[in-house]
Amino acid sequence: RAAPSARTVVVSGVPAGLLSDDVVTDLLCIHFQMPRNNGGDVEKVVYPTVEKGVAYILFEDPEVVENVLKKDDHQLKDKRLPGYHPLKVTRCCEVVSPFVIYLFIYPL
């Protein structure tokens, strides 16, 4: 099985303070599992993190990371959110991965 860093994306632009953290976590999970977002099975969502508006999404399959990164326009939308919230999705780099692995073991 691929290392967590190879199966993780970093998501910034997450709307902070508008909904409860649990609801935002659920919305992110749903967004990144949807086929129209090139998503797949999500193993875990880490939100909130020490950085405001940033989440980590751990997928079960590293191929999903590649597919998600190919989609140009990720927008978080839900009837409980005002408007659309563009998300920036980037690969989890090796510099971040020890911290990410720590978060998956000891969530905030």
**Residue 79 has which token pair?**
């009837």
Range of 87's domain? 4-105
Mean pLDDT of 5-11: 91
Please tell me the distance from the alpha carbon of residue 77 to that of residue 96, in angstroms, as a whole number: 27
- Please give the model's pTM, rounded to 2 decimal places: 0.86
**CATH number of the domain that residue 33 is part of:** 3.30.70.330
Domain count, the chain: 1
Rounded to 5 degrees, what are φ and ψ at 85? -125, 105
* DSSP helix, strand, coil percent of the chain (3-state; round to 5): 35, 25, 40
Higher pLDDT, residue 92 or 33: 33
Q: Each residue of 28-71: pLDDT tens digit? A: 999 999 999 999 999 999 999 888 999 999 999 999 999 999 99
